[in-house]
């Protein structure tokens, strides 16, 4: 006579029989037979393993409905996209870990068209011959920056690398010690210069660099001068830096190009929108820079890209570098970038149409009103397991842009009770991340804080709070 566990295992239907069930066939229609077979096999293995660990309950039999439900749940988990939408309530508008700039609908529509139809990516329609993919955005970049030529690569680090590798390979490039920045992911200017085959010549000191420091570093082996905009930190106090125009004049006296890495980069004067000033490519080129590099997915509000603008002869040399092909962008990036750049041609509509600028300029009073409007929904969702209140907070721009400038905002603070308040804050944060559309905030001093500056889709946000499960 079989023992109860063995009898229960023998009662489990075979995999082939289970795959013939109507409900399982429905799953196969949705997910495909290979994935359903794999999920059913895994659930059967888990069921048999569980029977080996504990004796079955009396009269317990195989639960067909429960098995199908478990398979469906496993398939939903395993086929869910790894790249998921989230609510960015961190207080950092351009959050590198959350994808940086959000793009306007115009860009999304342009990308969809480019993805689903053949396009003239490298084809000149007028001449009926092979074309250059950068031309699709070059006309907008030159118009918006005042440059005579432009090209695009996959990010700003690549732009700096390609410019240096083209214009200064095996030569020297002086850079101020105070500008040897490190960007996200431990990428450092000295490392990029080394990989580009360029010898870095450090000039000046961390806090003060003078024109004579650059002048004294110029030698027959010097190929260019370089200035790096310290967009992700600020040196304050007893400081000195050489203005762009004076450095450009020095470079040109020695028949050298001036390369300026702006890092973030913005195409309009942010002061016109009530924000702190950030140098624009147009300003830097007007001051005498010959090549300017900047990012597409930071303040500019577009897709990830590295933009190179400047003198036509130098840009053309960079374009012909064999590494340009390895660093080029695809048709989707170009479609999105062109759509975003086109918005800049209509300044009156830019603030409303460009999410980055819309979020950065959102009035604090409007955000406060939203916080007070949402507070009752939070209190209901917390069900007495935690407390919530509206608070004034400071947002930051992020992604290495205007690092010391903060913007007044409002948010919701949630905290648990008891002596282990810090531990409770971690649990609260995890519960919000477990929502259907994860909510990403920040924990500070035992409190989970959600800055509402970037909160759009308010109805969707409130609706999903009913799924919040605090332990």
pLDDT at 298 over 90: yes
Q: Binning pLDDT at 50, 70 and 90, where does residue 47 land? A: confident
- Using pLDDT thresholds of 50, 70 and 90, give the confidence band for residue 62: confident
- Write down which residue in 327, 353, 379 finishes a domain: 353
Indicate if 63 and 43 belong to the same structural domain.
yes
Its domain, for residue 389, covers 87-96+361-467
One domain for residues 91 and 109 = no
Per-residue pLDDT averaged across 403-420, rounded?
82
Domain count, the chain: 3
pLDDT band at 212 (very low <50, low <70, confident <90, very high): very high
Q: Which of 248-257, 266-275, 377-386 has the highest mean pLDDT?
A: 248-257
Contacts of 170 (CB under 8 A, 6+ apart): 197, 198, 199
Mean pLDDT of 221-226: 97
**Are 221 and 175 found together in one domain?**
yes
Q: Does one domain contain both 168 and 184? A: yes
Crossing angle between the packed helical segments 105-116 and 331-344, to the nearest 10 degrees? 150
Same domain membership, residue 243 and residue 198: yes
* 237 three-class SS: coil
CATH number for the domain spanning 203: value is 3.40.640.10
Q: Which residues pair with 263 in a beta bridge?
A: 294
**382 CB contacts (<8 Å, ≥6 apart)?**
388, 414, 468, 470
In this prediction, residue 417 carries a pLDDT of 75
Whole-structure pTM value? 0.88
**Do 348 and 369 share a domain, yes or no?**
no
Say yes or no: 134 and 230 in one domain: yes
Rounded CA separation 361/274 (Å)? 7
Statement to judge: residues 56 and 190 lie in one domain: no
Q: Which of 311, 275, 306, 318 is nearest to 290 (CA)?
A: 311
Tell whether 134 and 92 lie within a shared domain: no
Confidence of residue 159 (pLDDT cuts 50, 70, 90): very high
Are residue 42 and residue 91 in the same domain, yes or no?
Answer: no
β strands within 325-422, DSSP E: 387-398, 401-415
For the chain, the average pLDDT equals: 90
CATH number for the domain harbouring residue 424: 3.90.1150.180
Q: Which of 423, 419, 471 is nearest to 447 (CA)?
A: 423
């Amino acid at each position: 006579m079989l023992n109860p566990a063995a009898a229960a295992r023998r009662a489990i239907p075979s995999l082939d029989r289970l795959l013939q069930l109507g409900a399982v066939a429905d799953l196969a229609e949705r997910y495909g037979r290979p994935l359903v077979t794999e999920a059913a096999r895994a659930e059967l293995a888990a069921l048999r393993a569980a029977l080996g660990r504990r004796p079955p309950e009396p009269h317990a039999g195989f639960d067909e409905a429960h098995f199908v439900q478990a398979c469906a749940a496993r398939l939903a988990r395993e086929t869910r996209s790894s790249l998921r939408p989230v609510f960015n309530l961190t207080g950092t508008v351009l959050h590198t870990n959350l994808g940086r700039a959000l793009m306007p609908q115009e860009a999304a529509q342009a990308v969809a068209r480019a993805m689903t139809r053949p396009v003239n990516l490298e084809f000149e329609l007028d001449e009926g011959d092979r074309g250059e993919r950068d031309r699709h955005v070059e006309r907008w970049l030159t118009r918006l920056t005042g440059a005579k030529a432009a090209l695009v690569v996959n990010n700003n680090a690549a732009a700096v690398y390609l410019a240096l590798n083209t214009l200064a390979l095996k030569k020297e490039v002086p850079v101020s010690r105070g500008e040897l920045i490190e960007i996200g992911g431990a990428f450092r200017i000295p490392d990029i210069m080394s990989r580009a085959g360029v010898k870095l010549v450090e000039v000046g000191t961390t806090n003060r660099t003078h024109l004579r420091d650059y002048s004294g570093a110029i030698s027959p082996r010097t190929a260019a001068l370089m200035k790096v905009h310290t967009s992700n930190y600020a040196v304050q106090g007893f400081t000195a830096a050489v203005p762009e125009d004076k450095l450009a004049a020095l470079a040109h006296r020695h028949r050298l190009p001036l390369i300026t890495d702006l890092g973030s980069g913005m195409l309009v004067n942010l002061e016109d929108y009530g924000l702190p000033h950030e140098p624009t490519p147009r300003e830097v080129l007007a001051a005498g820079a010959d090549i300017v590099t900047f990012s597409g997915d930071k303040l500019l509000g577009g897709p990830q890209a590295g933009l190179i603008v400047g003198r036509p002869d130098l840009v053309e040399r960079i374009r012909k570098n064999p590494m340009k092909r390895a660093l080029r962008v695809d048709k989707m990036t170009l479609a999105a970038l062109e759509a975003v750049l086109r918005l800049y041609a209509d300044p009156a509509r830019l603030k409303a149409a460009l999410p980055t600028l819309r979020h950065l300029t959102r009035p604090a009073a409007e955000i406060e009103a939203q916080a007070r409007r949402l507070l009752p929904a939070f209190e209901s969702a917390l069900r007495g397991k935690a407390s919530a209140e509206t608070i004034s907070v400071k947002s930051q721009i992020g992604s290495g842009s205007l690092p010391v400038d903060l913007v007044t905002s409002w948010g919701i603070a949630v905290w648990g009770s008891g002596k282990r308040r810090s531990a409770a804050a971690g649990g609260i944060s995890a519960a919000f991340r477990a929502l259907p559309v994860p909510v990403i905030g920040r924990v500070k001093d035992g409190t989970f804080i959600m800055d509402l500056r970037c909160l759009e889709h308010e109805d969707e946000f409130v609706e999903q709070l009913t799924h919040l499960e605090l332990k």
